Structure 1
Amino acid sequence: MRNIALFDLDHTLLPIDSDYEWGQFLARTGAVDADAFARRNAEFFAQYQAGTLDPVEYLEFALGTLAQFPNHQLDAMHQQFMHEVIHPALLPAARDLLQQHQDQQDLIAIITATNRFVTAPIAKALGVEHLIAAEPELDNHGKITGKLLGIPTSGQGKVIHLHQWLASQGKQLSDFPQSYFYSDSQNDIPLLSIVSHPVATNPNNKLRAHAEQLGWPIIHLFDAQ
């Protein structure tokens, strides 16, 4: 049976944080009040880096912003975001890592704390079919309401969502001979701890120290690291 390879997205496959950059994009293009939004976005990002972020509070702030716009406008803005911000950040090293697992015919999924609206086009651009992401609630017309469906896909939530996703396909993690998870953050230690091959990827200082203590592999995909 083939193996499974799981990837965090921001600062793992991307050298940037797509969620933070989406907020910066909205402020830069005048879609939201630039000063107020950038200030709030920066506060949340600092909390994320410190490991103190309340994920529901942040996600409903982000999704509430999306709820202000009709779907056709959101789609147009995201296309511009992909062109200006994301495509320049899709670097060969990340594509090569994905390709290694694709060549081995592994089951591949991106599992990210960022919401599906922001990340689904990015996963598609990376050639990854399966995405586990924070799910926005939609109304009967398919419009984002500003609320989060279920629990966040962060911390222990990634473990829960992974098990649910695998169960929906009639599988469990133990079915795979080898399981890989690539991540940059200590926030992902719960999921890193249950796979057979945890890989600290462009790790922050807290994850680097944890990985060194446990003898986990450490890799760097980007020149800035």
Structure 2
Amino acid sequence: MKKVAIFDIDYTITKKETLMEFFKYCVKKDIKNIKFLPRALYCGVMYSIKVYDEKMVKEKFLKFIDGIEEQDLEELVEEFYSEKLTSILYNDAINMMKKLKSEGYDIYLISASPEFYINKFYKIKEVDRIIGTKFKFDKGKFIRQMDGFNCKGEEKVRRLKEFLKQENIEVDFKESYMFSDSLSDKPLLDLVGKPYLINYKKKHEFEILKWR
């Protein structure tokens, strides 16, 4: 029976929110993408007043890469990973992955962020599995349509158990870890015997770790 250490990504292993960093990186690559900034701000407002859910926000926000060729997107996210994502990782998160990997744990990253770029975290040699929000491609081009549900909350648990069932993996959840910055991950935090909140600002029954 396996033991797993599950990590959220945004603000858990990274210092910043990765989707916004991706947009900023695309603006840096091509300043014409700045025209999509009002759309991003509008989506944020619509989400804050509960007109848009997260699925709609992401589908509308990703207009700046709508229709990009799959190969071009792959090259873009490869550059994004090497030039930006690696610079915003918490050293403490990477050290924890190395420690737990050496103790026999499988390392899973489970995030609501899009898989098309968080899959680059497989470059971290300790990472065994990445589960994120999927998006569709049509005739080799990216389309702003989510494939399934936003990978958040209970959906993270469902996706994890779906993967474990497909791979015929049995997990000792009582001996497993979960690390997250947010109580939106409470379903996963409650699933394991060793839950931790990362840089959480308030007191909580879950132990809080300060990562830098």
Instruction: Output the TM-score relative to the length of structure 2.
Output: 0.86
Assess if the C-alpha contact under 8 Å between 1:136 and 1:147 holds in 2.
Answer: yes
Unaligned runs of 5+ in 2: none
Aligned partner of 1:192 among 174, 178, 189: 189
SS state at 2:118 partner: helix
Aligned partner letter, 1:169? E
Aligned partner letter, 1:76? E
4+ residue runs over 4 A deviation: 42-48, 50-53
Aligned partner letter, 2:182? S
Partner in structure 2 of residue 220 of structure 1: 210
Superposed counterparts of 1:78-117, under 5 Å:
78-117=77-116
Partner in structure 2 of residue 167 of structure 1: 165
The Cα of 1:134 is off from its aligned counterpart by 0.5
Count the aligned residue pairs.
211
Assess if the C-alpha contact under 8 Å between 1:110 and 1:132 holds in 2.
Answer: yes
Unaligned runs of 5+ in 1: none
CA shift in 2, pair 1:194/1:177, >3 Å: closer
Partner in structure 1 of residue 120 of structure 2: 121
Assess if the C-alpha contact under 8 Å between 1:64 and 1:147 holds in 2.
Answer: no
C-alpha offsets along residues 86-133 of structure 1, whole Å, 9 cap, x if unaligned? 122234322101011110121211000001112111342464130000
Q: For 1:6 and 1:44, how far apart are their aligned partners in 2? A: 30
What root-mean-square deviation, in Å, do the aligned CA atoms of Structure 1 and Structure 2 show? 2.6
SS state at 1:22 partner: helix
Aligned partner letter, 1:161? R
Between the aligned residues of both structures, percent identity stands at 23
Partner in structure 1 of residue 16 of structure 2: 16
Instruction: Output the TM-score relative to the length of structure 1.
Output: 0.81
Q: For 2:42 and 2:101, how far apart are their aligned partners in 1? A: 37
Partner in structure 1 of residue 177 of structure 2: 180
